[in-house]
Structure 1
Amino acid sequence: MGELLNDEIYADVVIPDKLIPVFESKSRYKGAYGGRGSGKTRTFALMTAVEGYRLAEAGASGIILCGREFMNSLNESSLEEIKQAIKSVSWLNDYYEIGEKYIRTKNRRVAYAFTGLRHNLDSIKGKSRILLAWVDEAENVSEAAWRKLLPTVREDDSEVWITWNPENKGSATDKRFRQVEHEFIVEMNHNDNPFFPDVLEQERLNDQENLDDATYRWIWEGAYLEASDAQIFNGKFVVREFERHPTWNGPYNGLDFGFSTDPTGATNSWESDGILYIEYEACKVGLEIDDTPDYLKDNIPGIEKYELIADNARPESISYLKRNGIPKIKACVKGKGSVEDGIAHLKGYKQIVIHPRCVNTAKEFRLYSYKTDRLSGEILPEIIDKHNHLIDSLRYAHERTMKRGANTKRHRATAGKRTYR
């Protein structure tokens, strides 16, 4: 049980014990890093609302800024996470006014703002006083973004909160907030979360059984990501910014439908000189079919104008999207061996370049793996059916190019035989 403390206000909220000292203290920087299921994001979302309550009751006026490196739309922000946190606590739910695209205290003193730090921070920083800034998924925040953000959070007693899953030792976030000691930035993993759900425990045990040790420790124990031969695309891709050239081939748009716990995932990609460029993604768990057309359009510009190849297992969903704003959607073909063929095709590119805004795509490329033997560490010829929804969308999108490539190879082989005859 944690307490919000100042001279006059006491309010009880339930948070993991390890984070109580963080929020009981005043500090310029507060944060948590670590593996999946630690409760860090949910706790920090909740505590932004508690802090907003404290500030508003103390007479302060301004905004709570919630940022990520890239944010194309509110769907990619912390908006929904904060809404759910507020609704979970009755006195916070009574204190805030929550709309479809906004959260603010009913006395209008404190409001939330959401932004992408790389390109959109300038549009917000001059409009209101930033009382608190929370940066979630901070691993990929660039040094340039940190240099721009931190001086804008300059009110007396203002704070910057940071939550992230570590990946690269030496990233801008790692250098600033992990390699330099900060008293109230702590490591949080699943064993620090008293509310760790059973469904995640089953996933953790499955990953412990099937993944190589380095990948398992990155997902669940906050370790840096180490390259592994079990990772299917190890050494094949890079994450960097690029500008699309008019001469590139494409676009190649693909869609994989989600279910209750799996995301609906779509990608937009291009090809040039043997290099595959992934420019946009759309990825959301629990996306209702009624909301899918607008979500796709919001996250992949112009997707309605070009052919979109979707998973053929959901013909009713394809039919719905065709009638409701995505007229060029078509079903993929698939077939026996299509997964292996698709992987081979993607690995056949000289390089795969993923734009940094495609956070979920990059994560899948890091995690998509072959099974390993738990005792010997031997890599097995079996693909783990996880972390592949956006990769599946790429396979569907490039069915056309795969077929052309296969036909070309067969033609060349036949021509060769005839020549030697």
Structure 2
Amino acid sequence: MSKARIELPPKLIPVFSGQARYRGAHGGRGSAKTRSFALMTAVRAYMFAEAGVSGVILSGREYMNSLEESSMEEIKQAIRSTPWLDAYFDIGEKFIRTKNRRVSYVFCGLRHNLDSIKSKARILIAWIDEAENVSEVAWQKLAPTVREAGSEIWVTWNPEKDGSPTDKRYRKTPPPGSKIVELNYTDNPWFPAVLEEERLSDRERLDDQTYAWIWDGAYRENSEAQILSGKYRVAEFDLPEFDGPYFGIDWGFSQDPTAGVRLAIQDQRLYVEYEAGKVGLENDDIAKFMIDRLPGIEQHTVRADSARPETISHVKSTGGGIRPAIPRIEGVEKWKGSVEDGIAHLRSYKEIIIHPRCTKFLHEARTYSYKVDRLTGDVLADIVDKNNHYIDATRYALGPLIKQRNAAMGLMIPKRLLQGR
């Protein structure tokens, strides 16, 4: 049996391996997800035809008024880029089919052509690209239409709304038999230089939320709910002079990472220089893990969550010389409202500058949010207790500064009240 080589982003190899009813990928621009799925529809069409199976590959989008709005051109380019596939298919201006005519492509808009989809005989694979805006009704009608034994539904999309029908169905609670991954430009081994230039330009000129949506596969969140909205940006930096460094650690649990940060302050700007984090980090390994990733942590004062004094004691000790230690680690002081005071302190900086290597802190900066009323969409005062491990470590690191600022504000209030009487 002859073998053919297909190149895919490594992250997609498990998606297309083995049996699955649903396969998919979501993420930002430049990830190669559309081209990869287009290529794999052709590979599967080849496999079906060679096995004597007849049917159609349905390529759909929510809206499609003409073939120019379909994925036809992507599929043509994918086939033509692979010589053995190019030799196997007939490609015309308005059709793609195997030369033995067992398998052909059908292109369809789901919004206006759902009823006609039902009449398409033997749908082997339904690939829905740009699926973010597909309605729940469309999904409900499509799924039972793809009913041949061994048939599959493939989904690719750039997320936009947290809770969209596609998001709920295939990302939040994927159905049984799903192989779906997040795929971004960082997962594309062939990410082109021209897009890298565009990405770097966008990082400089766009607000981070827009950048994250375009390139990192993030939602277009309600920016009013984001606690650090408008306060941070991503940039490389080298600080010859600064206040600090300041170190903080938030202890993890079974599902949460033990998270550490190294910070610096210059010209009323907070710089996030390094981060370190891992889920399931054993107490014996914490000190070495942090020392290897947060330069200088063993030489400076480190403030950690005071809720775990036994962990602080363990990390401070060398265990009789058998492990590294962080000798100047101490529990941070907490008080009623310390979380809110910490947030106010972070927002008091001119800006928070995050080094590109601090990807987990950046994720939290984008997602740490206030609660939103389910019915009205109003932003509430309560804080959502998630996406905050590295931010909590930052609050701990800056604990004395937060307390000083709080005390200064406390001195100012009575004076103003007295002046108003």
Which interval holds the TM-score relative to the shorter structure? 0.5 to 0.7
Alignment of structure 1 residues 32-47 onto 2, 5 Å: 32-47=25-40
Cα separation, 1, equivalents of 2:198 and 2:191: 12
| Structure 2 residue 248 is matched with structure 1 residue 224 | no
What's the counterpart of residue 337 of structure 1?
none
What's the counterpart of residue 115 of structure 1?
108
Residues 31 and 161 in structure 1, CA contact (< 8 A), matched pair in contact too: yes
Normalising by structure 1, we get a TM-score of 0.52
Cα separation, 2, equivalents of 1:174 and 1:10: 37
What's the counterpart of residue 166 of structure 1?
159
| Letter paired with 1:226 | E
Residues 212 and 377 in structure 1, CA contact (< 8 A), matched pair in contact too: no
Relative to structure 1, the CA distance from residue 153 to residue 80 in structure 2 (aligned partners, 3 Å threshold; closer, same or farther) is same
**Of 141, 149, 158, the match for 1:156:** 149
Cα separation, 2, equivalents of 1:52 and 1:98: 14
Cα separation, 1, equivalents of 2:60 and 2:97: 17
What's the counterpart of residue 326 of structure 2?
none
What's the counterpart of residue 198 of structure 2?
203
- Secondary structure at 2:53 match in 1: coil
What's the counterpart of residue 281 of structure 1?
none
Cα separation, 2, equivalents of 1:228 and 1:14: 39
Q: CA deviation at 1:9?
A: 6.7
| Structure 2 residue 217 is matched with structure 1 residue 184 | no
What's the counterpart of residue 175 of structure 1?
168
**Of 174, 189, 198, the match for 1:194:** 189
Cα separation, 1, equivalents of 2:217 and 2:165: 17
Cα separation, 2, equivalents of 1:148 and 1:119: 12
Cα separation, 1, equivalents of 2:23 and 2:190: 21
- What fraction of aligned residue pairs are identical, expressed as a percent? 66
What's the counterpart of residue 97 of structure 2?
104
Unmatched runs of 5 consecutive residues or more in structure 2: 225-349, 354-421
Deviations 1:59-81, CA, capped at 9 Å, x for gaps: 11010000000100000000000
Residues 9 and 54 in structure 1, CA contact (< 8 A), matched pair in contact too: no
What's the counterpart of residue 60 of structure 1?
53
- Secondary structure at 2:97 match in 1: strand
Cα separation, 2, equivalents of 1:106 and 1:85: 17
What's the counterpart of residue 94 of structure 1?
87
Deviations 1:44-90, CA, capped at 9 Å, x for gaps: 00000000000111111010000000100000000000000000000
Residues 27 and 218 in structure 2, CA contact (< 8 A), matched pair in contact too: yes
Unmatched runs of 5 consecutive residues or more in structure 1: 1-7, 230-374, 379-421
**Of 77, 84, 89, the match for 1:84:** 77
Q: CA deviation at 1:125?
A: 2.6
Cα separation, 2, equivalents of 1:137 and 1:118: 13
**Of 12, 15, 20, the match for 1:22:** 15
Cα separation, 2, equivalents of 1:137 and 1:377: 34
Residues 131 and 156 in structure 2, CA contact (< 8 A), matched pair in contact too: yes
Alignment of structure 1 residues 279-298 onto 2, 5 Å: none
Cα separation, 1, equivalents of 2:157 and 2:64: 16
Residues 184 and 215 in structure 2, CA contact (< 8 A), matched pair in contact too: yes
- Secondary structure at 2:140 match in 1: helix
Cα separation, 1, equivalents of 2:31 and 2:93: 28
Cα separation, 1, equivalents of 2:2 and 2:40: 15
Structure number, greater radius of gyration: 2
Residues 34 and 164 in structure 1, CA contact (< 8 A), matched pair in contact too: yes
What's the counterpart of residue 282 of structure 1?
none
Cα separation, 2, equivalents of 1:124 and 1:89: 30
What's the counterpart of residue 42 of structure 2?
49
| Structure 2 residue 2 is matched with structure 1 residue 12 | no
